Amino acid sequence: MDQGVLGHLMSLERAGVAQQDQHQSERIQMLKVRAVSLRAKRDQLKHQANVIKTLKDKISKNLPFEYDEEDDDDETGGFAALQRSLLTAWKMQLKDLQHAHHLIGGFDLVECKEGKSVCVSFHTAYEGVYLDTYNMELDLMRTVQISRHNIPPSFPLEVLAKQSLQKDLKVFLQTVSQNLNALAARRQQVTLVKDLVGSVEVMESNELCNILVLMCSAQSEPPRAVLCTLEYKDLTQSLPTHVSIESEDKTLSGSAQWKTNQALLLESPAHTALLTMKRMGSIV
């Protein structure tokens, strides 16, 4: 009787496992087939990606492509497939270039010494006229360091480098360019004052152009000398931060006309302001 019940239980158990086995083996077969097909697809995609990579490498190294007529079979897809791969490769390369361009803030970097250093140029311009161009060579070996440059030594380059060279190259390049342009603008203003407004004498100026002292002759009876001091505390600006007017005649320097002149010197470039003052008759 035990044998009977136990035996029945065992046979039921076996039957149950066999069913599961069947399901499992079916499932296993299915999965095996799926794996094989996926592997085949992966290999195919790998092959395509390799083709595109080699094309991209050839593009970046300016090597010629080879297209063999005998290779034109169904596997590689023929000429049309090559064209498609070529297009994809071009697109990838251009995207890389665009990314690099963004990284360096849109500046033109020239590679020198086989990738060990790069050279960047800063162009300056003011009022539509191109002024000096400055160059800087950056060493890329371990950390980014300034190797040499032809920026005037009074320019606070070390300060700017300490602030942002290691952290963000783009910010550093943009700050240097901004400061250089402002310096060129201030320097050009001094030159224009000397050239265009002959009656005004430049008493003091310096290489960094952060202070400018002008001696004007006011058109009054008797003609008085007026000293205008323009301070440029913000080196990224080409307009002064502070203007002071001094004269022996206190009433003259305090008059409404000279108050407007002071505002004019604060708001517009030095040479334009002086020419306006001349036109309005405040100065000789």
What is the binding site for another protein (CB under 8 A)?
108, 110, 112, 119, 121, 135, 137, 145-148, 150, 152-154, 156-159, 161, 204, 206-208, 210-211, 233, 235
C-alpha separations of 224 from 26, 32, 217, 284 in Å? 109, 102, 6, 10
Q: Return the number of the residue (195 or 221) whose C-beta is nearest another protein.
A: 195
Q: How far is the CB of 134 from another protein (least distance, A)?
A: 9
Q: Return the number of the residue (96 or 204) whose C-beta is nearest another protein.
A: 204
Give the contacts of 253 (CB within 8 A, at least 6 positions apart). 226, 245, 246, 247
In SS3 terms, 157-185 reads as HHHHHHHHCCCCHHHHHHHHHHHHHHHHH
Q: How far is the CB of 150 from another protein (least distance, A)?
A: 5
Q: How far is the CB of 173 from another protein (least distance, A)?
A: 15
Q: Return the number of the residue (105 or 152) whose C-beta is nearest another protein.
A: 152
Q: DSSP label at 283?
A: B
- Distance separating alpha carbons of residues 225 and 247, to the nearest angstrom: 6
Q: Return the number of the residue (37 or 206) whose C-beta is nearest another protein.
A: 206
Q: Could you identify the residue written with the tokens 């390369």?
A: 93
- Distance separating alpha carbons of residues 52 and 88, to the nearest angstrom: 7
Beta strands in the chain (DSSP E): 109-112, 117-126, 129-139, 145-149, 201-204, 211-218, 224-231, 242-247
Q: Are strands 242-247 and 224-231 parallel, antiparallel or unpaired?
A: antiparallel
Beta bridge partners of 122: 134
Q: How far is the CB of 152 from another protein (least distance, A)?
A: 7
> What's the distance, CA 223 to chain centroid?
52
Q: Return the number of the residue (119 or 252) whose C-beta is nearest another protein.
A: 119
Q: Is 4 helix (H, G, I), strand (E, B) or coil?
A: helix
Q: Return the number of the residue (72 or 139) whose C-beta is nearest another protein.
A: 139
Q: How far is the CB of 206 from another protein (least distance, A)?
A: 6
Q: Could you identify the residue written with the tokens 């009022």?
A: 127
Q: Return the number of the residue (59 or 213) whose C-beta is nearest another protein.
A: 213
Q: Return the number of the residue (86 or 161) whose C-beta is nearest another protein.
A: 161
Q: How far is the CB of 32 from another protein (least distance, A)?
A: 59
Q: How far is the CB of 244 from another protein (least distance, A)?
A: 14
Q: How far is the CB of 74 from another protein (least distance, A)?
A: 46
How many CA atoms does the CB half-sphere of 1 hold within 13 Å?
0
